[in-house]
Amino acid sequence: MEKKTNGKGIALLILTAVVWGFAFVAQSVGSEHVNTFVFNGIRFALGCVSLIPVILLFERNAKDRKMMKTTVIAGLVCGVVLFSASTLQQYGIELYNKAGFSDSSGRAGFLTALYMVIVPLMGLFMKKRPTVETWLGVACAVCGLFLISFTHGFSVSFEDLVIIGCAFLFAIHIIVIDRFGDQMYSLRFAMTQFGVSALLSGAFVLAGTAAGVMEVNTFADIKAAALPILYGGFMSVGVAHTCQILGQKNAEPAFASIILSTESMFSVIGGAIILGETMTLRGYVGCALIFAGIILTQVKLIGRKKRESVNV
């Protein structure tokens, strides 16, 4: 049976996109006070804890052993991928700030959103032939990436490469989750992957500090970054993820993907309103092309869904 989208689902998904978009601002501000692993370690720990009452409310009767086993395995695998992707993302934003970029939040948001284009391309390795709409979307995204990143001839900054790397990892994260699908408990899976990400971040903090290769953050540093960390933990990780799950229960998947991809737009809005970030006309055109590419790669799914429903 085809899932129908209702107002509740749309509202929850829009809220998710807004929270995730403004999270780039929190990450940018937080990177000025604490290093990548400290920021991510604390926020993922907070996100993990915040899901406990939600799980007790929505998944308290989870007793299927097979689903529980799949949940744990998927959570462990995705936890490692999420840790890697989030590390590159936060590190890239930190590098943007150190290099003096005036558009770090919006830039990181749009380049991260390339995962929506990368996912169908990775489908080639799974013998899933992309449609014409997919190739058009990729072309738009590549042109947009060129306008944003290649500002001084045919060269791309190291900072951009780090964020693009995180986009590839987020694409892998999406594919792994799709592989397990409905075979797991969503909220317990989320808490597991957040817990893994928090533990790995903490381990790197300890290892880096002991080896003397990582800047030691004091309690004063953490206190200065408290608001961004709290937003990143409770809102971006805990609340937004829960809204995503609940929203997708009341929305057709392809339509949900289109709404969620607008997080990139909200990252630019958040950066402009809160941080006073600016972007050149060339940058805005590039962002618009990337966003158009994102939409095109998702529109094909709607068309396919309609064709499949007609053939049933």
> Residue 236 has what pLDDT?
92
CA pair distance 183, 169, nearest whole angstrom: 22
Confidence of residue 309 (pLDDT cuts 50, 70, 90): very low
Q: Span 157-183, mean pLDDT? A: 88
In this predicted model, what pLDDT tens digit does every residue of 53-73 receive, in sequence order?
A: 989 988 888 889 999 999 999
Confidence of residue 1 (pLDDT cuts 50, 70, 90): very low
Provide the sign of the torsion angle of the four alpha carbons 145, 147, 151, 154, taken in this order: positive
More confident residue, 100 or 279: 100
Residues 6 or more apart whose Cβ sits within 8 Å of residue 40: 83, 86, 87, 90, 197, 198, 201
H helices within 127-280, ranges in order? 132-149, 158-180, 186-211, 219-224, 226-230, 240-248, 253-260, 263-274
**Among 70, 92, 123, 141, which Cα is nearest to 295's?**
141
Confidence of residue 155 (pLDDT cuts 50, 70, 90): confident
In this predicted model, what pLDDT tens digit does every residue of 195-210 receive, in sequence order?
A: 999 999 999 999 999 8
- Residue ranges of the domains in the chain? 7-135+155-279
The pTM of the full predicted model, rounded to 2 decimals, is 0.85
In this predicted model, what pLDDT tens digit does every residue of 296-306 receive, in sequence order?
A: 876 755 555 55
Confidence of residue 261 (pLDDT cuts 50, 70, 90): confident
In this predicted model, what pLDDT tens digit does every residue of 76-135 receive, in sequence order?
A: 999 999 999 999 999 999 999 999 888 888 889 889 888 878 888 887 776 667 778 878
In this predicted model, what pLDDT tens digit does every residue of 203-258 receive, in sequence order?
A: 999 999 988 888 889 999 999 999 999 999 999 998 887 788 778 767 766 667 77
Residues 6 or more apart whose Cβ sits within 8 Å of residue 211: none
Q: Span 143-153, mean pLDDT? A: 77
Model confidence at 308: pLDDT above 50: no
Q: 299: alpha, beta or left, given left = phi > 0 and alpha = psi -120 to 50?
A: alpha
> Residue 127 has what pLDDT?
67
Tokens of 82: 């999420």
Model confidence at 29: pLDDT above 90: yes
